[in-house]
Amino acid sequence: MPFVRFSPFSRSFALAVVTSALLVGCSDDSKKQAAPAAPPPSVSVAKVVKQDIRQSARFVGQIAAVDQVDLVARVSGFLEEKAVPDGSIVKKDDLLFTIEKAQYQAALTKAKADLASAKADAALKAADEKRDKDLLEKGHVSEAAYEATLAQKQQAEASVEAAQSGLQQAELNLSYTDVKAPFPGQIGKTTYSVGEVVGPTTDALAKLIRLAPVYVNFSVSEAQYLNAVKTHGLNPADISADESPDISLVLPNGQTYGEKGKIVYIDNQVDATTGTISFRGQFANSDTKLLSGTYVTVVLEAPQTETALVVPQAAIQRDQQGAFALSVTADKKVQQTYVELGQQIDTNFVVNKGLDEGTEVIVEGLQKVRPGVEVDPVLASKPAEKS
């Protein structure tokens, strides 16, 4: 490789180029340092406020029919007719099924004839007894002969009673061929088809359930029961006096049922297996929306209101340590505060501990902030959803 000699001019030019580049770089750094800082993030806040509330407790319950019955055939025979379609709403004494009647009508006819024959024989034996009694008084028959005639009369009278009983049973058996609704309600799916043999030893023809009113059964722990007595004024004496507090229901779709109910029963002992006490409420169910077997949330409300601090549900977050809220301090810094929550009321939580009245909590923009950063709080005009 040939040796290259740089002239003084070349060295001077190169030095100038390097110096110019360094100056340009310094100029760029100065511009970056001079750029204005980003404004603090804007968040929506709501104030912790006092509110008159009614304390409540919630329990898992299940709807149960006040009356339900398996419709069992009381006499044997072919199923002759299904009088109503499956699922029909029926009234008391409506005809539901008919079992063949012929053999029971024949049995009734025979029972009537047996009774008539027994009465005729009883009348004849009564005449014989009257005759022998007169002869006995005149000394024309012996005492033994009269006693025999009297026994025959009494036997004939017993036969009449037996025949009357047979007639009543025949009438009952014939009436049992018509299966009627013992109370108003809805009939379920029929087990048998027309033409099949049914009877007292076969399965039920169908199930009939009264639609209204309905019960709701639920259980509470011993501690919950004691709290209910203290907070809600609930005790068995109130139940017997029909003065129990109102209860309401939250349906499986989250809606609150429109009617209020009453507690009608509290068990007289604690279940040793579960440590709970059985309760039963009753609802009119005038719209027949409550169906037997449905699981619901039973809400027991205190009779009197009280003042409590409430915070929007959107402000509450949770981690391994528990529930907390991000609040904004006077110098607009974010502060994390763990809270002790009470019951949920609509879209708010009762705050038992951790926050004071007037504290501003972040309800929107939570994903943009962390404890210690400065924010631009904007008071929310209405409750916001949790971010």
148 and 251 both lie in a single domain: no
187 and 89 both lie in a single domain: yes
Query: Does 269 have pLDDT greater than 70?
Result: yes
- pLDDT class of 231 with cuts at 50, 70, 90: low
Q: In the prediction, which pLDDT does 18 show? A: 47
Domain tally, the chain: 4
Q: Which residues pair with 298 in a beta bridge?
A: 59, 249
Rg (CA), the chain: 45
CA angle in degrees (0–180, nearest 5) for 36-39-42? 170
The domain that holds 151 is classified in CATH as 1.10.287
**Selected residue with higher pLDDT from 96 and 364:** 96
332 and 361 both lie in a single domain: yes
Q: In the prediction, which pLDDT does 116 show? A: 96
Q: Is 226 helix (H, G, I), strand (E, B) or coil?
A: helix
pLDDT in tens, 16-73: 444 454 444 545 555 555 556 778 888 888 999 988 877 778 899 999 999 999 999 9
* CB contact at 8 A, 257 and 289: yes
Dihedral (CA of 362, 365, 366, 371) sign? negative
323 and 354 both lie in a single domain: yes
Query: Does 387 have pLDDT greater than 80?
Result: no
The domain that holds 61 is classified in CATH as 2.40.30.170
263 and 375 both lie in a single domain: no
283 and 219 both lie in a single domain: yes
Query: Does 384 have pLDDT greater than 60?
Result: no
* CB contact at 8 A, 104 and 249: no
* Among candidate residues 280, 301, 322, the one where a domain is terminated: 301
* Among candidate residues 256, 278, 301, the one where a domain is terminated: 301
pLDDT in tens, 150-195: 999 999 999 999 999 999 999 999 999 999 999 999 999 999 999 9
How many residues are present in the chain? 387
Is residue 356 one of the residues assigned to a domain? yes
132 and 242 both lie in a single domain: no
* Among candidate residues 193, 209, 225, the one where a domain is terminated: 209
- Taking the whole predicted model, whether its pTM rises above 0.95 is answered as no
74 and 203 both lie in a single domain: yes
341 and 262 both lie in a single domain: no
201 and 75 both lie in a single domain: yes
Backbone angles phi, psi at 38, to 5 degrees: -65, 145
Is residue 352 one of the residues assigned to a domain? yes
- Token output for 221: 């722990």
252 and 324 both lie in a single domain: no
Domain that holds residue 313: 43-53+306-379
- pLDDT class of 346 with cuts at 50, 70, 90: confident
Is residue 274 one of the residues assigned to a domain? yes
The domain that holds 354 is classified in CATH as 2.40.420.20
The domain that holds 187 is classified in CATH as 2.40.50.100
151 and 249 both lie in a single domain: no
For the stretch 258-266, contacts whose Cβ atoms lie closer than 8 Å and that sit 24 or more positions apart, written own/partner, are 258/287, 259/283, 259/284, 259/285, 259/286, 259/287, 261/216, 263/234, 263/239, 263/300, 264/215, 264/239, 265/239, 266/236, 266/239
Compute the average pLDDT of residues 289-303. Answer: 89
